[in-house]
Amino acid sequence: MSGRATILHADLDAFYASVEQRDDPRLRERAVIVGEGVVLACSYEAKRCGVRSGMGGVLARSLCPQAITVPPRMEAYAEASTQVFEQFADFTPFVEPLSVDEAFLDVAGAEHLFGPAAQIAQKLRTRVRENVGLALSVGVAQTKFLAKVASGQAKPDGTIVVEPGNELAFLHPLPIEVLWGVGRVTAAKLHDHGIDTVGDLASCERDGLKSYLGDHASAHLLALAHNHDPRAIDTNRRDRSMGAQRALGQKVRRREELRLEMLALAEKVAARLRKAERVARTVTVRYRTSEMRHETRSRTLPEATQQTDILVAVADELLLDLIDGPHGPGSRLGRVGCTLIGVTYSALGSPDAIQLALPFGDGGKPTDALDTMIDSIRSRWGDKAVARASLLDHKGEVAALTRPTALDSEAAEQSSASEPPDARQ
């Protein structure tokens, strides 16, 4: 493979904690922990004591007694994030956000304006430092995956450029934990088989890995170990699900308390759904038992909606199924307890899919109207959508031609394909 390294992965260092240190001079160069019950983020000074995000607060403070703990200020982080993404947009329109504090940038088309990708990376870091007051690390490579690994190695406050040709020499000595998709469980399995570095993994046979990692994971990880990652920057990704959850602690809750909590969560997410102008077809309710076991119940509706009353009613039914189990009201709750509940709306679509509802008048001929609708679907989503669209009965009066939700991603691909996804050449 030849070509230039033009994909950047930009990642803010210890984001929440850095914002706190920026805004309060007393916190600078000190160990800072954001979050009380659980560590949401911590400064590099705290990391040196062994504090990690996701760790319990009690343990974190015992590892690092001198640390200052501050409550999170989500608005401040959101504002900082917006400012940083404005800096990104000044260099290239091809930005794919991964979270509040990181993004991929394709700068192939920006090099004639700002110089080679390595220079753009430096300029970006300087701009973010000067205009937002935060440290940014940047990895530059020919693939997304490698750019992300590089930014991780560049931390804190650095740049690493992996030139084409040097990729495997860079990648293979690194521990398998740097690979995307290797977490606690997978890492343990790999170590059990004597695989400790990316190079070890790259020399494995597919069939051997498959026997304990499964089909997909083995192919995926082997591809990454050989630096195969053909994914392009995707600038118009949309959320595929939306949810909210709440931890409840160990205290035993009554059935009606849980239903009220769920009502509040389901309403909150429904409001977000409408604000984002999306509709959802699947409702999933999550429940964590006092033994930390997760259980879920989900239901897919015949038609996507953003209506609070429908979503809330489904969430309530699913929650009752979890609380009561097969043996009647409250029979499970007393035994297992509940330490967390949550609700997620998924199979998201856009509302225009349900605005295509077609009224069938008395003795009317639906055929002409149906043809019109099919034409409209074809122009919106292409031939493939027409072939797979389904006709739904709605209260016996209205037929709605609804695009199957599985086509959501295909339609997104089609619409993005009409824009220049790749400014190379």
Partner DNA sequence: TCTGGGGTCCTAGGACCC
Q: Which stretch binds DNA (CB under 7 A): 48-56, 251-259, 359-367, 410-418?
A: 48-56
Count the neighbouring beta carbons within 10 Å of the beta carbon of residue 296: 12
Residues composing the chain: 425
Distance CA 400, CA 284 (A): 24
The binding track of 144-183 with respect to DNA, each residue x by CB under 7 A or -, is -----------------------------------xxxxx
Distant-in-sequence, close-in-space partners of 183: CB < 8 Å, separation ≥ 6? none
Complex with DNA: residue 110 or 218, whichever CB lies closer? 218
Interaction between residue 216 and DNA (CB under 7 A): yes
In degrees and rounded to multiples of 5, residue 345 shows phi and psi of -105, 130
**In the block, which residue shows the tokens 């959101």?**
78
Complex with DNA: residue 22 or 189, whichever CB lies closer? 189
Residue 258 contacts residue 338 (beta carbons within 8 Å): yes
Residue 423 contacts residue 106 (beta carbons within 8 Å): yes
How many Å from the N-terminal Cα to the C-terminal Cα in the chain? 16
Helices (H), 133-204: 144-154, 167-171, 184-192, 198-202
CB of residue 154 to DNA, shortest distance in Å: 13
Interaction between residue 139 and DNA (CB under 7 A): no
Q: Which stretch binds DNA (CB under 7 A): 104-112, 160-168, 225-233, 400-408?
A: 400-408
CA angle centred on 384, ends 381 and 390, rounded to 5° = 85
Site for DNA in 266-295 (CB under 7 A): 272, 281-282, 292-295
Residue 179 contacts residue 159 (beta carbons within 8 Å): no
Interaction between residue 340 and DNA (CB under 7 A): yes
Interaction between residue 387 and DNA (CB under 7 A): no
Complex with DNA: residue 67 or 108, whichever CB lies closer? 67
Q: Which stretch binds DNA (CB under 7 A): 112-120, 162-170, 208-216, 359-367?
A: 208-216
Residue 187 contacts residue 176 (beta carbons within 8 Å): yes
Interaction between residue 99 and DNA (CB under 7 A): yes
Distance CA 223, CA 220 (A): 5
Distance CA 379, CA 389 (A): 13
Distant-in-sequence, close-in-space partners of 259: CB < 8 Å, separation ≥ 6? 316, 319, 320
Residue 239 contacts residue 348 (beta carbons within 8 Å): yes
Taking CB under 7 A as the criterion, the residue among 153, 245, 350, 416 binding DNA is 245
Distance CA 118, CA 8 (A): 9
Complex with DNA: residue 40 or 124, whichever CB lies closer? 40
Decide if 102 is catalytic: yes
Taking CB under 7 A as the criterion, the residue among 66, 131, 296, 331 binding DNA is 296
Taking CB under 7 A as the criterion, the residue among 249, 326, 363, 396 binding DNA is 249
CB of residue 12 to DNA, shortest distance in Å: 8
Taking CB under 7 A as the criterion, the residue among 300, 350, 376, 416 binding DNA is 300
Q: Which stretch binds DNA (CB under 7 A): 80-88, 164-172, 199-207, 334-342?
A: 334-342
Torsion of CA 361, 367, 371, 377, to 10 degrees: 60
Q: Which stretch binds DNA (CB under 7 A): 80-88, 97-105, 304-312, 324-332?
A: 97-105
CB of residue 304 to DNA, shortest distance in Å: 10
Complex with DNA: residue 53 or 143, whichever CB lies closer? 53
Complex with DNA: residue 290 or 372, whichever CB lies closer? 290
Question: Catalytic residue among 20, 96, 102, 167, which?
Answer: 102
Interaction between residue 111 and DNA (CB under 7 A): no
Taking CB under 7 A as the criterion, the residue among 202, 232, 244, 357 binding DNA is 244
Return the sign of the alpha-carbon dihedral for residues 406, 344, 52, 337: negative
CB of residue 115 to DNA, shortest distance in Å: 28
Distant-in-sequence, close-in-space partners of 186: CB < 8 Å, separation ≥ 6? 213, 217, 221
Residue 397 contacts residue 358 (beta carbons within 8 Å): no
Catalytically active residues are 102
By the criterion CB under 7 A, which residues form the site for DNA?
Answer: 35, 37-38, 40, 53-56, 58-59, 98-99, 101-102, 179-187, 214-217, 239-247, 249-250, 272, 281-282, 292-300, 339-340, 342, 344, 346-347, 388, 404-406
